[in-house]
Amino acid sequence: MIAARFSRIGFILAAAGSAVGLGNIWKFPYITGENGGGAFVLIYLMAITFIGLSIFIAEVAMGRLSRSDAVSAYESLAPKPGPWKFAGFTLLTGILILTYYPIVIGWVFKYIWVAATHLPTTVEASGAAFGEMLTQDASGQIFYFTLAFLCTFLIVSMGVKKGIEKLNLVLMPLLVIILLLLFCYAITLDGFDDALKFLFVADFSKVRATSVMEAVGHAFFTLSLGMCCIMTYSASLPENANIVRSSFTVAVLDTAIALVAGIIIFSLIFSFNAEPGQGPGLLFISLPPLFAQLGMAGTLGATLFFVAVAFAGVTSCISIVEPGVLYLTNRLNWSRPLALLAIGGVAYSLGLLALLSNIEHTGDSLKLFGMGAFDLFDFTSSSILLPLGGILVAVFVGYVMEKQKLEHLLLPYMHPRLFHCWYFSIRYLAPAGVVAMMINKLAA
Ligand code: TRP
């Protein structure tokens, strides 16, 4: 049983803080770029609505009903003892995400400094600087990666209420304000209309074979599903929270912020006639030169922008640590510092491997299945393990748990018809969507 409880707004902001992260501002725009824009956005929105939101509510229900760590949640909610408790170990996917996520936060930290002191003035110079950092500068990246790691673990060490809730109460509103300011600026840019067209006009000829899988995978990733993260936060839900409305609010906030970030970034891209499909470097290469054109105001704007991205990243990163910590402290009675040390130790070591796999002279020896460790960890977690975690939640809630428990919990907040839709979705749509995604992946 968990003693610490979020306040109502604290839960929404913490869950939104978890959901809104590098996935929204860094990953969503670049995978949208790679997958041709509007059609991909449409597939993604459908994946969020029909699959993501249902599983989100399912995870919230499991956390709220069990008020316990993920392994105990599966165990206590299963009608009879059995192997279901092992499904809780999908929280281990978090360790894999923790290997590369803080590396990217590290890049963002570095770019706060770059923005404040020496913004590159051309796209070419910017691309070269980013490439240099990524493939040559091991020590610099290790420094910022370590910093990101320490920030994350320091906050989690302060606990759910004093660390996680407090941080989100401050950083989330700041993040929204900064993005709105940048959005207003984007409206004034030449590329704004093209950005809207790119994001909202669907051209299915541009969709690749793997696009559907990527959209579903990202829907999981961006809502922080599939590794018991939302389940873990929901164990600390206040007694009287409207869990359906909270889930809906989080999904809407998350989607809105991804789209706003996409509009901002693609407005810049199209104003520069740059390529939208450049992959992971999009954020770090395309934005700095534009800010550089604006003199002092640009320096300030760029600094603020990367500060906002860092906020988004850190609030997400802490949520990836918490499921493991709760398992170790709640279930195995470890102390919080020991739990943090164990999780941190493993993730940090693997993270160094991931980081070095991008460095030119160490990268070749750190390849597996033809992929660098960084790409491999990213691919395995977001394209395979998270969906797998999601399907386990769906099958467990849809077929194993007693329906009565769910009705008792959800009907006060949901019209019975909506409950039926949700139940249908969790039993059929969500698992089918994930299976289709896997087939799609195998065929690709
Ligand atoms: N949702 C976050 C993002 O979009 C990342 C994240 C946080 C996450 N917690 C998670 C992803 C749990 C998967 C599972 O950046």
> Encoding tokens for residue 31?
């995978």
Longest dimension (CA), the chain: 66
Tell me the DSSP string of 3-58. -----HHHHHHHHHHHHSSHIIIIIHHHHHHHTTSHHHHHHHHHIIIIIIHHHHHH
Query: Residue with the nearest Cα to atom 12 of ligand 1?
Result: 224
Average pLDDT value for residue range 399-422: 96
Q: Apex CA 104: angle with CA 98 and CA 109, to 5°?
A: 120
Q: What is the end-to-end Cα distance of the chain in Å, rounded?
A: 45
Pocket flag, ligand 1, residue 386 (CB < 6 Å): yes
- Identify whether the C-beta of residue 259 lies closer than 8 Å to the C-beta of residue 349: no
Average pLDDT value for residue range 349-368: 86
* Ligand 1 atom with minimal separation from the 24 CA: 4
Using left for φ > 0, alpha for ψ between -120 and 50, and beta otherwise, residue 159 falls in left
Q: Is the pLDDT of residue 300 over 80?
A: yes
- Identify whether the C-beta of residue 198 lies closer than 8 Å to the C-beta of residue 263: no
Residue whose CB lies within 8 A of the most ligand 1 atoms, among 48, 221, 230, 378, for a mutation test: 221
Residue whose CB lies within 8 A of the most ligand 1 atoms, among 28, 231, 316, for a mutation test: 316
d(CA 256, CA 250): 10
> Residues 6 or more apart from 408 whose CB is under 8 A from it?
none
Reported as a pLDDT band with limits 50, 70 and 90, residue 438 is low
- Domains of the chain, CATH where assigned: 8-443 (1.10.4160)
Average pLDDT value for residue range 172-201: 93
Percentage of the chain surpassing pLDDT 90? 68
Average pLDDT value for residue range 382-395: 88
pLDDT of 130-147, one tens digit each? 999 999 999 999 999 999
* CA quadruple 390, 393, 399, 400: dihedral sign: positive
Pocket flag, ligand 1, residue 320 (CB < 6 Å): yes
Average pLDDT value for residue range 207-211: 80
Count the alpha carbons within 13 Å of 191 in the hemisphere toward its beta carbon.
22
Q: With 0-12 CB in 10 A as exposed, 13-18 as middle and 19+ as buried, what is 214?
A: buried
> Residues 6 or more apart from 275 whose CB is under 8 A from it?
33, 269
Query: Residue with the nearest Cα to atom 14 of ligand 1?
Result: 224
Pocket flag, ligand 1, residue 23 (CB < 6 Å): yes
Reported as a pLDDT band with limits 50, 70 and 90, residue 439 is low
pLDDT of 307-343, one tens digit each? 989 999 999 999 999 999 999 999 999 999 999 999 9
* Ligand 1 atom with minimal separation from the 230 CA: 12
Distance (Å) from CA 272 to ligand 1 centroid = 30
User: What is the model's pLDDT at position 36?
Assistant: 87
> Encoding tokens for residue 244?
């359906």
Closest Cα to residue 47, out of 203, 209, 230, 220?
A: 220
137 three-state secondary structure: coil
User: What is the model's pLDDT at position 443?
Assistant: 58
